[in-house]
Chains A and B, each alone.
Chain A
Amino acid sequence: MAILEVHNIEKHFGATRVLEDISFSLEKGQALAIIGSSGSGKTTLLRCLNFLETPNHGSISVNGNVIFDANDPITQRESEVRKKRLHFGLVFQSFNLFPQYTALKNVTLAKELLSQELPEYKQNKKAILEEIQAEGRELLKKMGLSDRADHYPSQLSGGQQQRVAIARALALKPDILCFDEPTSALDPELTGEVLKVIRGLAEQKTTMIIVTHEMAFARDVADEVIFMDGGVIVEKGPARQVIEHPQEERTRQFLSRYAEN
């Protein structure tokens, strides 16, 4: 059974249709890359999955449970949405680290706040917080940032900040980790370290959706690729096939423009 099923998602801002009839599914442990020019709707799609935008139509299921249905207001209640969000993690293009917290605290803050809702929090406060700390340090270590745990974001390079952001998203152990153009805001020489981390996650069979402009990366890391244009899915298939042998004319045009650059 697919871990994620998206059915007929539609989103419009006023009269502008940003997403039209988007449907796809994702298997556990797979990586999906979404490519397309800017304005094609791929970022909006990610934001819909993370409940930052509410689709006007369609439904989203995780592990077979409908977590969003445009026709069912009960699924859109704020208190419900907060929990359902945790199925997804999101890494932003511009990192959005919390500037007033150290790298470690950025990673642990959300988990600490969530743990306050645990019934045993009061008795075991110290142990719980220590465990969260340890997990946070472990995550930073995996990102190659052990020595940066106590640095503030402004003291870190862009690549380091984005790796902290990835650790922060992983801390809540989401079912599906989403990346929104994770290297677009980075200087070219810093993209490598971030892509390497994502590649490592793919090798550990982390379920991922990656919106990216790095075609070679998408081809090598993703299992599937979706090409979007004008708010619709134009082409969808195994990564190597879509990028090296696209079936659709619009995909070919898009990729050839990339090749020129």
Chain B
Amino acid sequence: MEFFTSDTFRTVLTALNTGFLKTLQLFFITLLGALPLGLIISFGSMSRFTPLRWLTRTVVWVIRGTPLVLQIIALFYVPGMQKWFNWPSGESGRMLAVCVAFVINYACYFSEIYRGGIQGVPKGQQEAGLVLGMTKLQIFRHITLLQMIKRIVPPMSNEIITLVKDTSLARVIALQEVIWMGESFMKGNSGIAGLTWPLFFTAVYYLVFSGIVTMLLGKLERKLSFFQ
């Protein structure tokens, strides 16, 4: 019990909290960017304009077919090494680069889920809208969209839970998220060195957060169960 009131525990907790804030920041920015971008990409991958469809699907293949960690490294280091541009200095530049990599990566995964969701809505729904004189946009907004959302919530939940944990990859370019902070006490941080428990303690953060996310997504799923 004393342990939980000790200075060490408090110091470690403060550090882990700081790290977890970065984890959360990355998580929410990725969702905010990748959810709409994924929809746009899914339209590209369903386009009747063949070159665009081909191009989009190739991009999705490359992004989904290569490790995210590699994309992060490439996106962060290659522009500077090639003298194209430099990311802003300091932690904010790293966060920006990681966010861009995550948004693109997750948008590609989401786009495939969207595509499955849209194509899974029976064709008759669209035809019913057409014969009632609706525009394509109206059909998407008022008919397809909600049915698609209902279809994609379960697979999307999987991806989002994965995203919670994937944020830890950001430490490859020294973004100081929660695992980085946990590891820092092994080597030495704030005068504390040789501690391994902070690393394993980060699991608590992930568990609690993914628990909350799971609960919210479950709620959404139940909310959409009013129709079939």
Listed in ascending order, the chain A residues whose CB lies under 8 Å from chain B are 50-52, 82-83, 85-86, 88-90, 92, 94, 96-100, 109-110, 113-114, 152-154, 168-169, 172
Please pick, from A83, A94, A110, the residue contacting B132 in the complex, using a CB distance under 8 A: A110
- How far, in angstroms, from A94 to B228 measured CA to CA in the complex? 15
Task: Tally chain B residues at the interface, Cβ within 8 Å.
Answer: 21
Q: List 17 A-B contacts (CB under 8 A).
A: A50-B131, A82-B133, A82-B134, A85-B130, A85-B131, A96-B125, A98-B125, A99-B227, A99-B228, A100-B226, A100-B227, A109-B142, A110-B132, A113-B134, A113-B138, A113-B142, A168-B132
B147 adjacent to A100 (CB under 8 Å): yes
The one of B127, B147, B227 in contact with A92, judged by C-beta atoms closer than 8 angstroms, is B127
**Most chain B Cβ neighbours within 10 Å, of A100, A110, A169, A172:** A100
Contacts of B147 in A (CB 8 A): 99-100
Say whether A92 contacts B133, CB under 8 Å: no
The answer to whether B128 touches A98 (Cβ under 8 A) is: yes
What 4 pairs between A and B have smallest CB-CB spacing? A110-B132, A96-B124, A96-B128, A154-B228
State the B residues within 8 Å of A (CB).
122, 124-125, 127-135, 138, 142-143, 146-147, 150, 226-228
Contact B227 A152 (CB under 8 A): yes
17 more CB-based (< 8 A) A-B contacts, given A52-B131, A96-B127: A51-B130, A52-B130, A82-B134, A85-B130, A86-B133, A90-B131, A96-B128, A98-B128, A99-B147, A100-B146, A100-B227, A109-B132, A109-B142, A110-B134, A113-B134, A152-B226, A172-B133
- Least CB separation from B143: chain A residue: A98
Which residues of the other chain, B, contact A85 by a CB distance below 8 angstroms? 130-131, 133
Q: Say whether A52 contacts B142, CB under 8 Å.
A: no
| A51, A97, A109, A154: residue with the most chain B Cβ atoms closer than 10 Å | A109
User: Shortest distance in angstroms between A48's beta carbon and chain B's nearest beta carbon?
Assistant: 12
- Tell me, in angstroms, the Cα distance from A153 to B124 when the chains sit together: 15
Q: Is the interface of B mostly helix, strand, loop or mixed?
A: helix
Query: Are A92 and B124 closer than 8 Å at their CB atoms?
Result: yes
Chain A residues with Cβ below 8 Å from B226 are 100, 152
Give the distance in Å from the alpha carbon of A243 to the alpha carbon of B131 in the complex. 31
CA distance A98 to B133 in the complex (A): 15
Q: Please report the C-alpha to C-alpha distance between residue A50 and residue B124 in the assembled complex, in whole angstroms.
A: 13
Could you tell me if B227 and A89 are in contact, using CB atoms closer than 8 angstroms? no
Q: In whole angstroms, what is the CA distance A30 to B133 when docked?
A: 24
Residues of B within 8 A of A83 (CB): 133
Shortest Cβ gap from A78 to chain B (Å): 8
Given A85-B133, A100-B146, A52:B127 Cβ within 8 A: yes
B133 contacts A114, C-beta separation under 8 Å: yes
CB A160 to nearest CB in B, in angstroms, measures 15
Set of chain B residues within 8 Å of A86, measured between Cβ atoms:
133
For residue B131, which residues in chain A have a CB less than 8 angstroms away from its CB?
50-52, 85, 88-90, 169
Docked CA distance A90–B126 (Å): 13
Distance A110 CA – B130 CA, assembled complex (angstroms): 10
CA distance A2 to B221 in the complex (A): 52
Decide if A94 touches B124 in the complex (CB within 8 Å).
yes
- A94 to B134: give the CA distance in the assembly, Å: 20
Smallest CB gap from B123: residue in A: A96
Chain A proximity of B165: nearest CB distance (Å):
33
Q: How far is the CA of A153 from the CA of B125 in the complex (A)?
A: 13
Distance in angstroms between the alpha carbons of A103 and B207 in the assembled complex: 43
- Distance between B105 CB and nearest chain A CB, rounded to angstroms: 31
- Taking CB atoms, residues of chain B closer than 8 Å to A168 are 132
Residue numbers in B under 8 Å from A110 (CB-CB): 129, 132-134
| Cα distance, A114 to B143, chains bound together (Å) | 15
Q: How far, in whole Å, are A85 and B127 apart by their CA atoms in the complex?
A: 12
Q: B78 to chain A: closest CB distance in Å?
A: 44
Q: Which residues of A contact B142 (CB under 8 A)?
A: 109, 113
Query: Please, how many angstroms separate the alpha-carbon atoms of A96 and B227 in the complex?
Result: 14
Q: Distance in Å from the Cβ of B1 to the closest Cβ of chain A?
A: 53
Instruction: Give the shortest distance, in Å, between B90 (CB) and chain A (any CB).
Output: 48
Asked whether A153 and B227 contact (CB < 8 A) given A96-B128, A113-B138, the answer is yes
Which of B128, B131, B138 has the largest number of chain A CB atoms within 10 A? B131
